[in-house]
């Protein structure tokens, strides 16, 4: 009999109800803001963190989950008789988390010599609920008896075409994180310009700059329609956001343009908001498949 665990990190932004429903284990990132360290998903709600960011004097930093933390979790699985673990991580090119998980597998050989736990480590190549949703789907399929090879193929397919269109209304954090240049941030603050950014395979690109908050949703939608693999009745999209009122306008305009509501509206967690800032919107969809 197989006994399968599903593991990920807190940048997945999986809501607590879905985590509990599918039995997903989530290890948290540590975030330091104005000299104080916090544990994501434990020390504050998303909404509390957005306000902390708005009030902060400095900009946040995040510490990746260590190899020892992952090894401890793997040891737990061995001790509890698990046969397999599906471990999906935040984009490897933007975080050392994936590399830490690789190191943890080597440590596990030392901590539990001769163990038979099969670890399937997957780099999502993306961020937030873009991979969190796929982790939930994977957990659902595995619970219903799907073969691991089938689930891994589905994850590869999803991650090879996942795209994000992002915009932020406050630019201090994005400048610090390197998502936009200091010059672009200065122009945005001075002239009211808002960047519209694509985030694909962990790489960001400023695709357009629009003037004023009201111009952001239509610009995001235009870009998503241009890039999406399908935009008909089968077009599936999700919306990510912080607690800003502009999300209601984005949802309304998306429903009008795409003919149906988003599959899911999710909140950006602390690890993600530490890079986008506390005032951000995103559209998530499947683009053309990449290599």
Question: What distance in Å separates the CA atoms of residue 87 and residue 9, rounded to the nearest whole number?
Answer: 9
Closest Cα to residue 174, out of 212, 208, 138, 204? 204
Q: What is the pLDDT of residue 42?
A: 97
Q: What is the pLDDT of residue 290?
A: 82
Dihedral sign from CA coordinates of 49, 125, 144, 233 = positive
Q: What is the pLDDT of residue 186?
A: 44
**Percent of the chain's residues with pLDDT above 70:** 92
Q: What is the pLDDT of residue 1?
A: 87
- The count of other CB atoms within 10 Å of the CB of residue 278 is 25
Q: What is the pLDDT of residue 183?
A: 47
Q: 169 or 43, which is more confident?
A: 43
Q: What is the pLDDT of residue 181?
A: 57
Q: How confident is the model at residue 177 (pLDDT cuts 50, 70, 90)?
A: low
| Stretch 119-146: mean pLDDT | 97
- Model pTM above 0.85: yes
Q: What is the pLDDT of residues 203-248, one digit of tens each?
A: 889 899 898 889 999 999 999 999 998 777 788 999 999 999 999 9
Closest Cα to residue 177, out of 60, 31, 285? 60
Q: Which long-range contacts (CB under 8 A, 24 or more apart) does 203-206 make?
A: 203/93, 204/166, 204/179, 204/180, 206/180
> What three-state secondary structure class fits 88?
strand
> What three-state secondary structure class fits 13?
coil
Q: What is the pLDDT of residue 202?
A: 85
142, pLDDT greater than 90: yes
- The count of other CB atoms within 10 Å of the CB of residue 82 is 18
51, pLDDT greater than 80: yes
197 DSSP β-pair partners: 166, 206
Is the CB of residue 230 less than 8 Å from the CB of residue 285?
Answer: no
Mean pLDDT lowest among 11-20, 59-68, 192-201: 192-201
Q: How confident is the model at residue 53 (pLDDT cuts 50, 70, 90)?
A: very high
Q: How confident is the model at residue 170 (pLDDT cuts 50, 70, 90)?
A: confident
């Amino acid at each position: 009999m197989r006994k399968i665990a599903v593991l990920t990190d807190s940048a997945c932004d999986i809501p607590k109800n879905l985590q509990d429903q599918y039995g997903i284990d989530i290890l948290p990132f540590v975030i330091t803001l104005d000299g104080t360290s916090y544990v994501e998903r434990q020390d504050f709600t998303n909404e509390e963190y957005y306000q902390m960011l708005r009030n902060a004097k400095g900009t946040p930093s995040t510490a990746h989950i260590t190899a020892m933390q992952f090894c401890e979790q793997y040891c737990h699985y061995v001790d509890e008789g698990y046969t397999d673990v599906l471990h999906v991580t935040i984009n490897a090119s933007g975080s050392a988390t994936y590399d830490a998980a690789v190191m943890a597998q080597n440590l596990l050989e030392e901590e539990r010599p001769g163990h038979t736990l099969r670890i399937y480590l997957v780099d999502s190549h993306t961020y937030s609920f873009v991979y969190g949703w796929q982790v939930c789907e994977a957990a659902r399929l595995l619970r219903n008896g799907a073969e691991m090879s089938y689930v891994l193929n589905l994850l590869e397919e999803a991650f090879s075409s996942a795209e994000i269109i992002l915009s932020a209304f406050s630019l201090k954090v994005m400048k610090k994180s390197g998502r936009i240049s200091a010059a672009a941030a200065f122009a945005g603050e001075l002239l009211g310009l808002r960047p519209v950014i694509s985030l694909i395979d962990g790489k960001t690109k400023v695709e357009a700059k629009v003037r004023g908050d009201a111009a952001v949703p239509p610009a995001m939608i235009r870009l998503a329609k241009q890039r999406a693999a399908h935009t008909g009745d089968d077009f599936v999209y999700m919306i990510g956001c912080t607690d800003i009122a502009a999300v209601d306008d984005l949802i309304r305009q998306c429903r009008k343009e795409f003919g149906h509501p988003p599959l899911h509206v999710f909140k950006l967690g602390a690890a993600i908001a530490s890079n986008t800032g506390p005032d951000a919107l995103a559209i998530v969809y499947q683009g053309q498949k990449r290599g």
